[in-house]
Structure 1
Amino acid sequence: VVSMAVGGKQIALDAARDTLVNVNALGDPVPSARFMGGREFSVLTKDQPEPWTEADVGAVLARKTLLLPSTQQGSGPFPHHAAAWLNADGINNGQRFAAISFYLALMTATCLDLIGADGPTTVEGPFARNRLFVGMLAAATARAVVASEAATGTSIGAALLASDQLMAQGKGERIERPIDPAWVDYVSAWRAAVEVQG
C-alpha cells in the first residue's frame, strides 16, 4: 500500500517509519508512506476473500477482535512490532476476514496521518472493492473515502503524461464515515493496543 498526501498539511516525515517524498508529474514534492499491505493481505487470507455477514462485522466490533502490526516486519509505520491477535479466540472465517480488513485500513490510516493527509482519500486497486477496508478507513481518518472504479491509477497517470489531452477524473463511490460509534470505538481500541505493544 502506497499512500500519498497530495495537497496535504506540511509535516516532518520519519524515514524510520517508512515515510518519504515522491515527486508528482509537475515536479512537486508529495509526502508518501508505504507498508506491505498487499503482501499482508495475501499471506493472511491465502488470497481467498472470505464471505462475511453484518453479524460477523458486529461481532468483531463488539469483541474488539484486533490484529496488531506488523505481519510483515521491517517496513511500514511499525517496522519493529511483531503481529499479535487480541480477542480472537473462536472467531469464524468471516470475522477473521473482517478483522484483517480493519487492520489493513488502520495501517493505511496511520500512514496517512504520518504524511499529513487531508481531505477525501481515494483508494485504487483491489482494496477499493473491499467495503470493510474502505468503511474502516473512513472511520479511522474521519474523512470520506472514494473507492475508485479504476483498477490502477498508475496507467492513467502515465497516459496523462504522454498526452496533451485532459482526461476526465475517474469515477468512484464516496463512502462517508460510519455513523455507528462502534467503528470509532474500534479505532480507539486498536490505536491504544498498538501503543501498549510499542
Structure 2
Amino acid sequence: MERGGGSSGLDLRWNYLPRDVALDIVSLLEECKAFYMNEHKKMASAVSAVIKYVEGSTQSGSLEIRFYMKAIGDLTSMKLGFRDVQLFLFRREQNVLLNLIGCHYCISFLEIPTVDLMEALEICQILERQVCVRWFMLCRRFYGFPMPNEHHSHIVSLGDLAMGNEDEVFDLLNYGITNQGMRIRISSVGSNAT
C-alpha cells in the first residue's frame, strides 16, 4: 500500500484499524505485560531464596562446596537465564560468592560466550572481584602410615574465570563435590576464613 509522499510498504496506523480490533490488540498487549511481570516476580522470588540460602550457609565469609553446588543446582532447575543472572547475581552489592555462582552457572550451564560474559561482568563492575578457593585432602596414607593433610589455596578473579584462564578451578569445584576425601571452601578475598 502506498500513501502520500511516495513511501512504499505497509503503513499501518491505529487510525486505520477498526476500534474493536485496536482495543483487542491493546488488551492482548496488557495481558502480555501482566504475564511478563508475574513471571519476573516468580523468578525474583526463587532467586531470592537461593541468595538467602547462600548467605545463611556462609560462615566467616566462607562457603563449603556442597552449599555452593546446591545453589548452582537450584539455579539450573529454575532455568535462570543470562539476563536474570545479570539482574540478580551480578550486582556489585552482592557477596562475591554470589557473583561467582552466577559466573560458574553462565559458563557451565548456559554456555555464554566469553565476550558476552566479560562484557556483563565489566558493566556490572565485578570483573576484578576475587575469590579464594581452599582445598585439602583428608586421611591420606602412604604404606599404611598417615600423612599430613595437604592444604592448597588459589586466588582468582571473576574475569580470569570468564576468560577460561582458570578452568582448573571450575574442574576442582566440580570434582570436589564427588570426592569424599577432599574438602573445599570458597571465600571472598580478604575474609579470615580457614
- Normalised by the length of structure 1, the TM-score is 0.31
Q: Which has the higher helix share?
A: 2
